[in-house]
Chains A and B, each alone.
Chain A
Amino acid sequence: MRMNETEQELIAMVLSGRAEAFEPLVTPYRGPLIGLAYRLTRNREEALEVAQEAFLRAFRSLGRFDVSRSFRNWLFQIAANEARDRLRKRARERAAFEAAVEYGPATEDPEAGPDRQELRSDIMRLLGVLSPREREVFVLRDLEELDIRETAGVLGCSSISVRVNLSAARRKIRQAVRENLPHLEEGR
Protein backbone atom coordinates (compact mmCIF):
# COMPACT_ATOMS: atom_id res chain seq x y z
CA MET A 1 0.00 0.00 0.00
CA ARG A 2 1.70 3.17 -1.24
CA MET A 3 1.10 6.66 0.05
CA ASN A 4 -1.43 8.82 -1.70
CA GLU A 5 -0.85 12.44 -2.68
CA THR A 6 -3.01 13.84 0.09
CA GLU A 7 -0.88 12.07 2.67
CA GLN A 8 2.26 13.45 1.09
CA GLU A 9 0.84 16.97 1.17
CA LEU A 10 -0.24 16.62 4.78
CA ILE A 11 3.18 15.30 5.77
CA ALA A 12 4.83 18.26 4.03
CA MET A 13 2.52 20.63 5.92
CA VAL A 14 3.33 19.06 9.29
CA LEU A 15 7.04 19.20 8.52
CA SER A 16 6.75 22.87 7.61
CA GLY A 17 5.45 23.55 11.13
CA ARG A 18 1.68 23.24 10.70
CA ALA A 19 1.00 20.72 13.46
CA GLU A 20 -2.76 20.92 12.86
CA ALA A 21 -2.26 18.94 9.62
CA PHE A 22 -1.29 15.90 11.68
CA GLU A 23 -4.85 15.11 12.70
CA PRO A 24 -6.26 14.68 9.18
CA LEU A 25 -3.12 12.72 8.32
CA VAL A 26 -3.63 10.09 11.02
CA THR A 27 -7.40 10.06 11.45
CA PRO A 28 -7.89 7.28 8.83
CA TYR A 29 -5.62 5.07 10.95
CA ARG A 30 -7.37 5.67 14.26
CA GLY A 31 -9.21 2.35 14.11
CA PRO A 32 -6.57 0.16 12.44
CA LEU A 33 -3.84 1.26 14.81
CA ILE A 34 -5.77 0.66 17.98
CA GLY A 35 -7.01 -2.63 16.53
CA LEU A 36 -3.46 -3.77 15.98
CA ALA A 37 -2.39 -2.62 19.43
CA TYR A 38 -5.35 -4.43 20.98
CA ARG A 39 -4.58 -7.72 19.24
CA LEU A 40 -0.95 -7.51 20.24
CA THR A 41 -1.41 -6.48 23.87
CA ARG A 42 -4.82 -8.13 24.47
CA ASN A 43 -5.71 -5.32 26.83
CA ARG A 44 -7.89 -2.32 26.05
CA GLU A 45 -6.15 0.21 28.29
CA GLU A 46 -2.73 -0.90 27.17
CA ALA A 47 -3.85 -0.77 23.55
CA LEU A 48 -4.96 2.83 23.98
CA GLU A 49 -1.61 3.74 25.52
CA VAL A 50 0.32 1.94 22.80
CA ALA A 51 -1.67 3.65 20.07
CA GLN A 52 -1.29 7.05 21.72
CA GLU A 53 2.43 6.62 22.07
CA ALA A 54 2.67 5.40 18.49
CA PHE A 55 0.94 8.53 17.18
CA LEU A 56 3.13 10.80 19.29
CA ARG A 57 6.27 9.02 18.17
CA ALA A 58 5.10 9.21 14.58
CA PHE A 59 4.67 12.95 14.96
CA ARG A 60 8.12 13.38 16.45
CA SER A 61 9.78 11.14 13.85
CA LEU A 62 7.85 12.30 10.81
CA GLY A 63 10.95 14.02 9.43
CA ARG A 64 12.64 10.64 9.17
CA PHE A 65 9.72 8.96 7.37
CA ASP A 66 10.64 7.62 3.94
CA VAL A 67 7.86 8.80 1.64
CA SER A 68 8.43 5.90 -0.73
CA ARG A 69 7.02 3.63 1.98
CA SER A 70 3.45 3.04 3.07
CA PHE A 71 2.47 5.46 5.81
CA ARG A 72 0.09 2.92 7.32
CA ASN A 73 2.81 0.28 7.54
CA TRP A 74 5.15 2.80 9.10
CA LEU A 75 2.56 3.53 11.78
CA PHE A 76 2.07 -0.21 12.27
CA GLN A 77 5.81 -0.62 12.71
CA ILE A 78 5.93 2.02 15.42
CA ALA A 79 2.92 0.52 17.19
CA ALA A 80 4.30 -3.03 16.99
CA ASN A 81 7.61 -1.88 18.48
CA GLU A 82 5.83 -0.04 21.25
CA ALA A 83 3.59 -3.02 22.03
CA ARG A 84 6.59 -5.35 22.11
CA ASP A 85 8.46 -3.07 24.50
CA ARG A 86 5.46 -2.87 26.80
CA LEU A 87 4.88 -6.62 26.81
CA ARG A 88 8.51 -7.22 27.71
CA LYS A 89 8.36 -4.63 30.44
CA ARG A 90 5.16 -6.11 31.80
CA ALA A 91 6.67 -9.61 31.80
CA ARG A 92 9.76 -8.35 33.64
CA GLU A 93 7.67 -6.52 36.22
CA ARG A 94 5.50 -9.54 36.77
CA ALA A 95 8.50 -11.83 37.16
CA ALA A 96 10.09 -9.39 39.60
CA PHE A 97 6.86 -9.15 41.58
CA GLU A 98 6.47 -12.88 41.80
CA ALA A 99 10.08 -13.32 42.82
CA ALA A 100 9.70 -10.64 45.48
CA VAL A 101 6.59 -12.06 47.14
CA GLU A 102 7.40 -15.73 46.45
CA TYR A 103 4.10 -15.95 44.72
CA GLY A 104 4.80 -19.29 43.12
CA PRO A 105 5.29 -19.98 39.42
CA ALA A 106 3.90 -17.68 36.78
CA THR A 107 0.46 -18.48 35.43
CA GLU A 108 0.13 -19.94 31.96
CA ASP A 109 -0.33 -16.53 30.43
CA PRO A 110 2.42 -14.25 31.71
CA GLU A 111 0.88 -11.24 30.04
CA ALA A 112 -2.39 -10.95 31.84
CA GLY A 113 -4.53 -11.77 34.80
CA PRO A 114 -7.10 -14.52 34.46
CA ASP A 115 -10.26 -12.50 34.94
CA ARG A 116 -9.94 -10.02 32.17
CA GLN A 117 -12.92 -9.71 29.88
CA GLU A 118 -10.70 -9.56 26.79
CA LEU A 119 -9.25 -13.01 27.38
CA ARG A 120 -12.65 -14.64 27.39
CA SER A 121 -13.29 -13.81 23.76
CA ASP A 122 -12.60 -16.51 21.17
CA ILE A 123 -10.04 -14.58 19.19
CA MET A 124 -8.13 -13.57 22.29
CA ARG A 125 -8.03 -17.17 23.48
CA LEU A 126 -6.68 -18.16 20.10
CA LEU A 127 -4.05 -15.44 20.16
CA GLY A 128 -3.15 -16.56 23.67
CA VAL A 129 -1.71 -19.84 22.40
CA LEU A 130 0.85 -18.02 20.26
CA SER A 131 4.27 -16.77 21.24
CA PRO A 132 4.68 -12.97 21.03
CA ARG A 133 6.49 -13.18 17.69
CA GLU A 134 3.99 -15.64 16.22
CA ARG A 135 1.19 -13.38 17.39
CA GLU A 136 2.73 -10.35 15.70
CA VAL A 137 3.11 -12.24 12.45
CA PHE A 138 -0.35 -13.81 12.59
CA VAL A 139 -2.08 -10.54 13.44
CA LEU A 140 -0.33 -8.59 10.70
CA ARG A 141 -0.62 -11.24 7.99
CA ASP A 142 -3.93 -12.92 8.71
CA LEU A 143 -5.97 -10.33 10.58
CA GLU A 144 -4.61 -7.07 9.15
CA GLU A 145 -3.98 -8.77 5.79
CA LEU A 146 -0.54 -7.37 5.05
CA ASP A 147 1.46 -9.51 2.65
CA ILE A 148 4.64 -11.34 3.66
CA ARG A 149 6.99 -8.56 2.58
CA GLU A 150 4.98 -5.87 4.30
CA THR A 151 4.84 -7.96 7.47
CA ALA A 152 8.59 -8.42 7.36
CA GLY A 153 9.04 -4.68 6.85
CA VAL A 154 6.82 -3.80 9.80
CA LEU A 155 8.56 -6.28 12.09
CA GLY A 156 12.05 -5.51 10.83
CA CYS A 157 12.84 -9.13 10.01
CA SER A 158 13.30 -11.31 6.94
CA SER A 159 10.53 -12.84 4.84
CA ILE A 160 11.90 -16.24 5.79
CA SER A 161 11.48 -15.45 9.47
CA VAL A 162 7.91 -14.31 8.80
CA ARG A 163 7.11 -17.54 6.96
CA VAL A 164 8.60 -19.70 9.72
CA ASN A 165 6.62 -17.92 12.43
CA LEU A 166 3.47 -17.77 10.33
CA SER A 167 3.60 -21.49 9.68
CA ALA A 168 4.02 -22.20 13.40
CA ALA A 169 1.24 -19.77 14.28
CA ARG A 170 -1.25 -21.35 11.86
CA ARG A 171 -0.45 -24.82 13.17
CA LYS A 172 -1.19 -23.69 16.71
CA ILE A 173 -4.35 -21.86 15.66
CA ARG A 174 -5.65 -24.90 13.87
CA GLN A 175 -4.89 -27.05 16.91
CA ALA A 176 -6.51 -24.57 19.27
CA VAL A 177 -9.65 -24.32 17.16
CA ARG A 178 -9.90 -28.09 17.05
CA GLU A 179 -9.26 -28.74 20.74
CA ASN A 180 -10.46 -25.73 22.66
CA LEU A 181 -12.96 -23.98 20.44
CA PRO A 182 -14.88 -26.72 18.62
CA HIS A 183 -17.85 -24.42 18.21
CA LEU A 184 -15.67 -22.34 15.88
CA GLU A 185 -14.72 -25.40 13.87
CA GLU A 186 -18.34 -26.36 13.49
CA GLY A 187 -19.19 -22.88 12.35
CA ARG A 188 -21.44 -22.27 15.37
Chain B
Amino acid sequence: MTCRRAKKLIPLFAGDDLRPRLTAAVREHIDSCPSCWRELREYRLALARAKAAAKEEGVPEWSDGEWRALMARVRPAARETKPAVVFTRPRWAAASVLGAVIGLAVLSVLFRDGRPGPRPDSGAAAMATAEADRGQDVISVTMVSPESGLQVVWFLDKNFDWKGDKE
Protein backbone atom coordinates (compact mmCIF):
# COMPACT_ATOMS: atom_id res chain seq x y z
CA MET B 1 0.00 0.00 0.00
CA THR B 2 1.26 3.49 -0.86
CA CYS B 3 1.32 6.40 1.59
CA ARG B 4 -1.20 8.26 -0.56
CA ARG B 5 -3.66 5.39 -0.35
CA ALA B 6 -3.02 4.91 3.37
CA LYS B 7 -3.58 8.61 4.11
CA LYS B 8 -6.97 8.40 2.40
CA LEU B 9 -7.96 5.52 4.64
CA ILE B 10 -6.49 6.75 7.93
CA PRO B 11 -9.54 8.84 8.97
CA LEU B 12 -11.66 5.68 8.97
CA PHE B 13 -8.87 3.48 10.34
CA ALA B 14 -8.56 5.89 13.28
CA GLY B 15 -12.04 4.97 14.42
CA ASP B 16 -11.87 1.26 13.47
CA ASP B 17 -14.37 1.82 10.70
CA LEU B 18 -12.60 0.09 7.83
CA ARG B 19 -13.51 -3.34 6.54
CA PRO B 20 -11.26 -6.10 7.96
CA ARG B 21 -9.28 -6.62 4.75
CA LEU B 22 -8.41 -2.92 4.44
CA THR B 23 -7.74 -2.64 8.16
CA ALA B 24 -5.02 -5.28 7.91
CA ALA B 25 -3.45 -3.59 4.89
CA VAL B 26 -3.39 -0.14 6.50
CA ARG B 27 -2.02 -1.52 9.76
CA GLU B 28 0.75 -3.23 7.91
CA HIS B 29 1.65 0.01 6.12
CA ILE B 30 1.52 2.15 9.23
CA ASP B 31 3.75 -0.21 11.15
CA SER B 32 6.49 0.50 8.64
CA CYS B 33 5.77 4.20 7.86
CA PRO B 34 6.55 6.83 10.52
CA SER B 35 4.85 9.61 8.55
CA CYS B 36 1.53 7.74 8.30
CA TRP B 37 1.88 6.64 11.92
CA ARG B 38 2.16 10.30 12.97
CA GLU B 39 -0.87 11.17 10.91
CA LEU B 40 -2.86 8.37 12.51
CA ARG B 41 -1.86 9.62 15.93
CA GLU B 42 -3.04 13.13 15.07
CA TYR B 43 -6.42 11.83 13.97
CA ARG B 44 -6.87 9.76 17.08
CA LEU B 45 -5.90 12.68 19.26
CA ALA B 46 -8.28 15.05 17.47
CA LEU B 47 -11.14 12.57 17.80
CA ALA B 48 -10.41 12.01 21.47
CA ARG B 49 -10.32 15.77 22.06
CA ALA B 50 -13.58 16.31 20.21
CA LYS B 51 -15.28 13.59 22.26
CA ALA B 52 -13.89 15.00 25.48
CA ALA B 53 -15.08 18.48 24.54
CA ALA B 54 -18.54 17.09 23.83
CA LYS B 55 -18.65 15.36 27.21
CA GLU B 56 -17.36 18.42 29.00
CA GLU B 57 -19.94 20.71 27.53
CA GLY B 58 -22.90 18.52 28.33
CA VAL B 59 -26.30 18.94 26.74
CA PRO B 60 -29.48 20.72 27.73
CA GLU B 61 -31.77 18.85 30.06
CA TRP B 62 -35.52 18.74 30.23
CA SER B 63 -36.90 20.50 33.23
CA ASP B 64 -39.54 18.45 35.05
CA GLY B 65 -42.16 20.95 33.89
CA GLU B 66 -41.15 20.64 30.25
CA TRP B 67 -41.19 16.86 30.47
CA ARG B 68 -44.58 16.76 32.16
CA ALA B 69 -45.97 19.15 29.57
CA LEU B 70 -44.72 16.90 26.79
CA MET B 71 -46.19 13.78 28.34
CA ALA B 72 -49.47 15.63 28.83
CA ARG B 73 -49.49 16.32 25.10
CA VAL B 74 -49.32 12.59 24.44
CA ARG B 75 -52.76 11.99 26.02
CA PRO B 76 -54.73 14.21 23.60
CA ALA B 77 -52.69 12.73 20.78
CA ALA B 78 -53.90 9.31 21.95
CA ARG B 79 -57.51 10.44 21.77
CA GLU B 80 -56.99 11.96 18.32
CA THR B 81 -55.62 8.71 16.99
CA LYS B 82 -58.48 6.59 18.45
CA PRO B 83 -60.82 6.83 15.41
CA ALA B 84 -58.40 4.70 13.46
CA VAL B 85 -59.63 1.77 15.57
CA VAL B 86 -62.99 1.96 13.75
CA PHE B 87 -61.35 0.34 10.74
CA THR B 88 -60.40 -2.67 12.78
CA ARG B 89 -64.02 -3.52 13.72
CA PRO B 90 -65.37 -6.83 12.37
CA ARG B 91 -66.55 -6.91 8.81
CA TRP B 92 -70.08 -7.85 9.82
CA ALA B 93 -70.51 -4.44 11.44
CA ALA B 94 -69.69 -2.63 8.22
CA ALA B 95 -71.93 -5.05 6.26
CA SER B 96 -74.85 -4.37 8.64
CA VAL B 97 -74.51 -0.62 8.22
CA LEU B 98 -74.36 -1.00 4.45
CA GLY B 99 -77.49 -3.22 4.49
CA ALA B 100 -79.41 -0.69 6.58
CA VAL B 101 -78.51 2.13 4.19
CA ILE B 102 -79.63 0.09 1.17
CA GLY B 103 -82.89 -0.86 2.94
CA LEU B 104 -83.68 2.75 3.71
CA ALA B 105 -82.99 3.72 0.12
CA VAL B 106 -85.37 1.01 -1.17
CA LEU B 107 -88.15 2.04 1.25
CA SER B 108 -87.81 5.69 0.26
CA VAL B 109 -88.23 4.74 -3.43
CA LEU B 110 -91.31 2.54 -2.70
CA PHE B 111 -93.16 5.20 -0.70
CA ARG B 112 -92.16 8.19 -2.77
CA ASP B 113 -95.40 8.47 -4.88
CA GLY B 114 -98.26 9.84 -2.83
CA ARG B 115 -98.25 7.46 0.10
CA PRO B 116 -98.43 8.11 2.96
CA GLY B 117 -99.81 11.65 2.64
CA PRO B 118 -99.70 14.41 5.22
CA ARG B 119 -101.40 13.36 8.44
CA PRO B 120 -103.32 15.83 10.61
CA ASP B 121 -101.53 14.73 13.80
CA SER B 122 -98.05 14.97 12.43
CA GLY B 123 -97.40 18.67 12.98
CA ALA B 124 -98.71 21.96 14.19
CA ALA B 125 -100.56 22.55 10.96
CA ALA B 126 -101.01 19.99 8.24
CA MET B 127 -101.39 21.07 4.68
CA ALA B 128 -103.01 19.18 1.84
CA THR B 129 -102.35 20.37 -1.62
CA ALA B 130 -104.75 19.57 -4.41
CA GLU B 131 -102.72 18.73 -7.37
CA ALA B 132 -103.76 20.48 -10.50
CA ASP B 133 -103.71 18.72 -13.77
CA ARG B 134 -102.93 20.57 -16.94
CA GLY B 135 -106.55 21.42 -17.78
CA GLN B 136 -107.60 22.51 -14.30
CA ASP B 137 -108.52 26.20 -13.86
CA VAL B 138 -108.84 26.35 -10.06
CA ILE B 139 -106.48 25.01 -7.42
CA SER B 140 -107.50 24.57 -3.81
CA VAL B 141 -105.14 24.36 -0.84
CA THR B 142 -106.59 22.93 2.38
CA MET B 143 -104.96 23.57 5.78
CA VAL B 144 -106.15 21.62 8.82
CA SER B 145 -105.30 22.44 12.46
CA PRO B 146 -104.75 19.20 14.42
CA GLU B 147 -105.66 20.91 17.73
CA SER B 148 -108.98 22.57 16.82
CA GLY B 149 -109.97 20.70 13.68
CA LEU B 150 -110.35 24.06 11.90
CA GLN B 151 -109.97 23.81 8.14
CA VAL B 152 -109.05 26.68 5.83
CA VAL B 153 -109.27 26.22 2.08
CA TRP B 154 -107.64 28.62 -0.32
CA PHE B 155 -108.74 28.80 -3.97
CA LEU B 156 -106.29 29.98 -6.60
CA ASP B 157 -106.66 30.15 -10.36
CA LYS B 158 -104.21 28.57 -12.74
CA ASN B 159 -102.02 31.72 -12.58
CA PHE B 160 -101.95 31.44 -8.77
CA ASP B 161 -104.09 34.59 -8.43
CA TRP B 162 -106.16 34.71 -5.22
CA LYS B 163 -109.79 33.68 -5.82
CA GLY B 164 -111.13 33.43 -2.23
CA ASP B 165 -111.11 31.24 0.91
CA LYS B 166 -113.50 29.16 3.00
CA GLU B 167 -113.43 28.09 6.67
Contacts and interface: CB of A to CB of B under 8 A. Distances in A.
Contact of B15 (A59, A142, A181): A142
A20 B50 CA distance: 39
B42 interface: yes
A84 interface: no
Interface residues of A, number: 42
B45 interface: yes
Nearest to A52: B70
A34 B59 contact: yes
Interface string B38-59: 0000110111011101101101
Contact of B54 (A39, A166, A181): A39
A47 B60 contact: yes
Nearest to B43: A174
A126 B46 CA distance: 10
A85 interface: no
Contact of A34 (B17, B61, B75): B61
B78 A19 contact: yes
Contacts of B54: 39, 123, 143
Contacts of B47: 142, 170, 173-174
Interface size class of chain B, counting residues whose CB lies under 8 Å from the partner chain = 20 to 34
Contact of A19 (B11, B46, B60, B74): B74
Given A47-B60, A48-B66, A19 B53 contact: no
Contacts of A123: 50, 53-54, 56-57
Interface in A26-65: 30-31, 34-35, 38-39, 44, 47-48, 51-52, 55-56, 59-60
A65 to B, nearest CB: 14
A185 B12 contact: no
A37 to B, nearest CB: 9
Interface in A142-188: 142-143, 148, 163, 166-168, 170-171, 173-174, 177-178, 181, 184-185, 187
A60 B8 CA distance: 44
B12 A177 contact: no
B74 A174 contact: no
A95 B54 CA distance: 30
B18 to A, nearest CB: 8
Contact of B42 (A124, A142, A174, A187): A174
Nearest to A164: B12
A19 B74 CA distance: 7
Interface in B53-84: 53-54, 56-57, 59-62, 66-67, 70-71, 73-75, 77-78, 81-82
Q: Nearest 4 pairs between A and B by C-beta?
A: A19-B78, A35-B59, A170-B11, A174-B46
18 contacts: A17-B78, A17-B82, A19-B74, A19-B77, A48-B62, A59-B74, A60-B77, A123-B53, A124-B57, A141-B17, A167-B12, A168-B11, A177-B50, A178-B42, A184-B49, A184-B53, A185-B45, A185-B46
Interface of A: 17, 19, 22-23, 30-31, 34-35, 38-39, 44, 47-48, 51-52, 55-56, 59-60, 121-124, 126, 141-143, 148, 163, 166-168, 170-171, 173-174, 177-178, 181, 184-185, 187
